[in-house]
Structure 1
Amino acid sequence: MKKFLFLLVMSFSLMLILAGCSGSSEDSQAGGDEANSEGSTEIEFWTMQLKPTFTDYIEGVIADFEEENPNITVKWVDVPWGDMEKKILSAVSSETAPDVANLNPQFASQLAELDALVNMDEAVPAEEKEQFFEGIWKSNSFDGKTFGVPWYLSSQVSMYNNNILEEAGLTGEDVPTKYADVLDFSKKIKEETGQYAFFPSIDGSHLLETMVTMGVELTNEDMTKATFNTAEGKESFQFFVDMYENELIPREVLTEGHGKAVDMYQAGQLAVLSSGPQFLNTVNENAPDIYEATEIAPIITGKTGLMNVAAMNLVVPKQSDKQDAAVKFSLFITNAENQVEFDKIVPILPSIETALEDPYFNELPESPSPEEEARIISAEQLKNSEVLIPPMKNYSDLQKAMTDALQAAMLGEMSIDEALADAEQKWNKALQ
């Protein structure tokens, strides 16, 4: 949701939120979870667009939880992806927030900034917390507090069209795993086939994630000052400028995002697609011939060796008067057994470290499909993966400032030095 809408809602609801959070938190801590006259507790659980595809799974987990906890019932509400932020803000402002909600860290951090979410460092026992990947647990932190329990993860891989590589006289072993090798590979593909090798998305968080893998430190430790106007920052911008000026990437990189990259790959116009494994289903449905030619390689990274992972979490609003039950359910649905079961029906990864010990994540069948190859590779990458962009204040402004600066440099409207200085000024204003 656009930042202006967020601020609009918040301007009307801030007092309600803080008042509601303060009161309900004290009531919960003083009296414990509120139960009805029959001694049972009902918690409301919101997810983002999981019906009808995952109805059986979610209802099965809820049934198992209720069997183990006969005094707790779970009311499941599924919200369309695009409506979640608006609905959760409206619910919080009207003091009708759910007891558990499925959000992403960047948006959840905006509620955490208002002190509207339960601190999981206090609510979750240490032995439970230690089961999660340390870096993933920290990705749900804001101002020294952890506002969510990690749920499912997604790690990108490189999908490549073997037909294009063969035409260029290359093999899968030639697919770059470092940005330092991308330029030469792209030149070879373009010269021999006339196709583009890559579509480096700069929309969303992609640009910032790429810069971090290249060794760029975006801010100081307390996130009050930009620190990317450095030799590493210039090197990262130079990479994109060189690719653009040498016509090694499509012009649409400037105006379109990851969706365009998927379209071009499906059309046989792109040698390598950097994407989450879930997009293999899209390729298979829309372009079965391209899918048949697709093989999998590790994602490209920079000199840091870091790889990004996207995380979804579960949060418990402080307004809830059933916080104990809500946290208990959050830990149940994210336990290793339930995560592995979920991962077997959708190409995602678990946030519990021991879940990767399941053979599903480390044993390939004979003649594996691209999805199976992607699963093993993405699981292997988790040990070097983390959420590279932590929750940050005014994040949409920061994103836009960096993208605008890079676009100006690629178009020659600014030098790289000027573009970085412009972004630095805007970041410092937004961060303060």
Structure 2
Amino acid sequence: MRRIWAAVTTAAVAATVLTGCGLSSDDRSDDTAAKVAAATGEVKGKVSLQTWALKPKFTAYVQGVIDGFRQRYPGVEVEWLDQPGDGYSAKVLSQAAAGTLPDVVNLPPDFALPLARQSLLLDVAKADPKLAEEYVAGGVDAYRFAGQDGTFGYPWYLNTDVNYWNSELLSRNGLDPKNLPGTLDELIAQARTMKEKSGGSTYLMSRKPGLGDLVNAGVKVMADDGRSFTFNTPEAAALLDKYRAAYKDGLLPNDVLTNTYAGNSKLFNAGTAAWTTGGGNFISSLATDNPTLAPKMLSSPAMGTPPLYVQGLSIPKSTKNPAAAVALARWVTSAENQARFAQLTSIFPSTKASAGDPFFSRSDGTNAGDAKVVAFTSLAKAKILQPVQVDDAMSTVINQQIALAISGDTSSKQALDTAVERCNQLLKG
């Protein structure tokens, strides 16, 4: 899975830092009702926008968006702040602790969560009742957090994963490129055929499962209140058992469970694996690095619920100009402005109105064009599969326990029990 943005600091660390700064929901009056009411007022005065690492590559684009906003609302003054990619999380936390967050802030859900927990963000669904009507459901849901009442961001630009297949390797090893697997059982069955035909030199399966796979198996990963993990279920154990059997039968690379594993994408690029996942523009980017492989690639929708990757714009409660802040967030995330952005880089818009844009919804007849359409149409049902509460330490624990289960060093149930216990400790700590 790929993001077009930098890795984020964990929500657990963020919450700890905020608390350590002495900032909590009790330190400031909750004037949500007043801010919501004010958000419907006249758009005028000064308003600030903070983005994340868009300069200098997208300076002209963002400035054009700002100029358009000023033309629509004459007299409004917009201050654009762009923060470097490195250290952005620390910068946001510092601004939050000092009470100096800009009026509109670029926050992925991971960053918005700790601020929402501290009651620092405006419930934009109350300030803008049309939010759920005009933006894709998964994008809106990404800013609704377990245990928190409200929606704390406008979804901005999105991405998702689709399946990519090497048609040449499929055909060479007894598989039909027109009959691609759509379920885990079908994938395992075809992986077995590939192993037998290739003598074990080529793999169809080349990654171990993660929390997203458990979600797609119907496993409830986290409790409704967001205070505990719950993925140690019989269904989760059954899924790991399937992978363990596949690994034992040599359907996955021997080193897939190790820290030195090259990775699914690298094996695909090298022609050793016939399946990988990637964003909707993966073929176009690969054409530069591996022009002989790109024409052989086929795409298909992700198995189960497609994963969703989101960037969004949040509005702090501390804004002194809620009307301009809401108007600016809506303007930046409008279908027209997002479409212009998407033509400059590998992202997809978050508005429902974009569904009628032929740039996204119609293929040009190439395999790259087909993949883009597959990805875009998948966004209508895409969701964040891994809870934003999962931090790096939790991911390490989960990956280690899954590896132990698949290798057979422990039972799947025991591995899941251990992972849940340790992750719950980290969540409370």
**What's the counterpart of residue 152 of structure 1?**
157
* Residue deviations 1:235-284 (CA, integer Å, cap 9, x gap): 22123322322232234433459983222222222211111124334422
Distance 1:243 1:390 in 2: 27
Aligned residue among 69, 90, 94 for 1:90: 94
Partner of residue 401 from structure 1, selected from 372, 378, 397: 397
Residues 266 and 286 in structure 1, CA contact (< 8 A), matched pair in contact too: no
SS state of the match for residue 118, structure 1? Answer: coil
Deviation at 1:227, TM superposition (A): 3.2
Please tell me whether the aligned partners of residues 165 and 299 of structure 2 are also in contact (alpha carbons under 8 angstroms).
Answer: yes
Q: 1:223 aligns with which of 218, 223, 226?
A: 226
Q: Which residue of 1 aligns with 2:339?
A: 340
User: Would the aligned equivalents of 1:46 and 1:101 in 2 still touch at CA under 8 Å?
Assistant: yes
Give the 3 Å change call, closer, same or farther, for CA 51–250 of structure 1 in structure 2: farther
Aligned to 1:368: 366
2:40–2:127 contact (8 Å) kept in structure 1:
no
Secondary structure of the structure 1 residue equivalent to 2:316: coil
**Partner residue of 1:357?**
356
Kept after mapping to 2: 8 A contact 1:24/1:319? no
More helix by share: 1
Q: In the alignment, which residue of structure 2 is the partner of 1:195?
A: 202
Summarize deviations over 1:217-248 as a string: whole Å, max 9, x none: 11333334443232211122123322322232
Tell me how many residue pairs correspond in the alignment: 416
Match of 2:406 in 1: 410
Structure 1, unmatched stretches of 5+, are none
- Once the two structures are TM-superposed, the CA of residue 60 in structure 1 deviates from its matched residue by 1.5
Give the partner amino acid of 1:6. Answer: A
> What is the SS of the residue equivalent to 1:141?
coil
Note if contact 2:136-2:352 (Cα within 8 Å) is conserved in structure 1: yes
Residue number in structure 2 paired with 1:267: 270
SS of the aligned residue for 2:99 comes to: coil
After superposition, residues 22-421 of structure 1 pair within 5 angstroms as 22=29, 41-124=45-128, 126-142=129-145, 143-193=148-198, 194-200=201-207, 207-255=210-258, 260-301=263-304, 306-365=305-364, 367-370=365-368, 372-392=369-389, 395-421=391-417
User: In the TM superposition, what is the alpha-carbon distance from 1:2 to its structure 2 partner?
Assistant: 5.2
Moved more, 131-140 or 267-276: 131-140
| Secondary structure class of the residue paired with 1:152 | strand
Letter paired with 1:407: A
| Structure 1 residues 258 and 54: alpha-carbon distance in aligned structure 2, compared to 1, 3 A threshold | farther
Counterpart Cα distance in 1 of 2:37 and 2:186: 60
Amino acid corresponding to residue 41 of structure 1 in structure 2: G
CA distance in structure 1 between the partners assigned to 2:32 and 2:104 by the alignment: 15
Distance 1:391 1:355, change over 3 A: same
Instruction: Give 2:3's aligned residue.
Output: none
Does structure 2 retain, via aligned residues, the 8 Å contact 1:161–1:293? Answer: yes
Aligned to 2:6: none
Deviation at 1:398, TM superposition (A): 4.2
TM-score by length of 1: 0.86
Say whether the 8 Å CA contact 2:139–2:155 is kept in structure 1: yes
Task: Show the counterpart of 2:419.
Answer: 423
3-state SS of 2:134 partner: coil
Distance 1:32 1:161 in 2: 51
- For 2:259 and 2:71, the matched residues in 1 are separated by 48
Distance 1:29 1:123 in 2: 5
Between stretches 306-315 and 20-29, larger displacement belongs to 20-29
1:146 Cα deviation after fit: 0.8
